[in-house]
Amino acid sequence: MVPSGFDAPLGVHHKAIGRWLAERDGSAERITRGEARRYIETEFDKAVRAELSKVQLADLRVVALTGEDHGPPAIALICDNVGEIELGWITKANVLANALDGVVAPVGWRAAAYRALEQLLGYALPVFGFEEFMDEMSMWMWDGATDDADAIRFMGEFHGLDDIEEMTLPSHLRARRPDYMTRKPAPLKDMPPSLRDRLRRLRETCKALNAVADTTSAWRHDREALSYYLPHYEDGSCTLPLTLVPFDQFGQQLDEIADHAMQTNFYDIVGLTTIEEPARLDAWFESLRLGAEFIAAAQDLIDHNPMKDQR
């Protein structure tokens, strides 16, 4: 986890957090401005670290921001790592995996775990799955085409018919998907209790996170507010920094998608919340806790190979 930070020596964000700390701690001791700044930043960072201590799936950073033109302060949650999320036992499907890590789990179990992560993880982290990957490839390679016929038509007009045989088509990419991305997920009744319980916990923690109002959630942001507090995102890439698309099968395409973002910046914002009053910080920290529990549930699903319970 990356420490939280402040973007100015002393401002309205310090005052807002300072009032929240004063109400929380009940302290009325008089201190200097410099002491107050150090106390506010240290205590806020400590509180953030406590809530994010369980998060291992991503490097998250919190930044307190000051608004211009008398706007309220805000808190941004940012993801600082880039690349494929390692999925452990879910992706183990070959003979070498059998030799090194015990028996590979049935593909239906792995497909169920992958499907759950692909459907839910984006509620907390800036991560894209295979369909978002195909959307990016469609715009980049085939002028928005999503099937082979339209892609061939575009490439014939753009490149000439002689080169089409060497071109990658949508069906080629879909054919590369490993089994856990294409096979039908097993029903819960056919899973061992350890896997069934972890999938249920993942969905339950996601449901709890999504019950939080967008205005107080640490994991949501409004594009207009983002442009106001962090305007550099307007000119940056829309590419998310994390992916569930396996690099082994799609490395070249992932590199091509990420190229513009590497030159500017990834769309690594997780959430942005304005802090009009100290009570808003209480709600923000509660949502931060719920999101951390959800991500920890995802990590637990990835870390625990259910085949170990079958021995």
Domain count, the chain: 1
Residue 297, pLDDT above cutoff 70: yes
SS3 226: helix
What is the structure's pLDDT at 7?
57
208-227 average pLDDT score: 95
**The pLDDT value given to residue 60:** 97
- For residue 23, the model assigns a pLDDT of 72
Percent of the chain with pLDDT over 90: 60
Mean pLDDT of 200-209: 98
Using a 10 angstrom Cβ sphere, with 0-12 exposed, 13-18 middle and 19 or more buried, the burial of residue 26 is exposed
pLDDT 10s digits, 256-290: 999 888 888 899 999 999 998 888 999 999 999 99
pLDDT value at residue 19: 77
H helix or E strand, kind and range, residue 202 = helix 193-210
- Residues 39-66 have pLDDT tens digits of 788 888 999 999 999 999 999 999 999 8
* Strand partners for 271: 77
* pLDDT on residue 1: 55
Counting residues of the chain whose pLDDT is more than 70, the rounded percentage is: 86
CA distance 24 to 189: 46
Q: Is the pLDDT at 164 greater than 80, yes or no? A: no
d(CA 19, CA 96): 57
Token pair recorded at residue 89: 């036992």
Q: What is the mean pLDDT of residues 244-260?
A: 93
What is the Cα gyration radius of the chain?
A: 23
For the chain, the first-to-last Cα distance in angstroms comes to 35
CB 127 within 8 A of CB 242: yes
How far, in Å, CA of 258 to CA of 266, rounded? 8
**Residues 140, 105: Cα–Cα separation, whole Å:** 36
| Mean pLDDT to the nearest integer, 140-155 | 84
Determine the average pLDDT of the residues in 108-127: 98
pTM of the predicted model as reported, rounded to 2 decimal places: 0.89
Whole-angstrom distance, CA of residue 127 vs CA of residue 7? 26
Three-class DSSP category at 78: strand
Please, is 189 exposed, middle or buried when counting C-beta atoms within 10 Å of its C-beta (0-12, 13-18, 19+)? Answer: exposed
Q: Is the pLDDT of residue 196 over 70?
A: yes
Domain that holds residue 278: 5-310
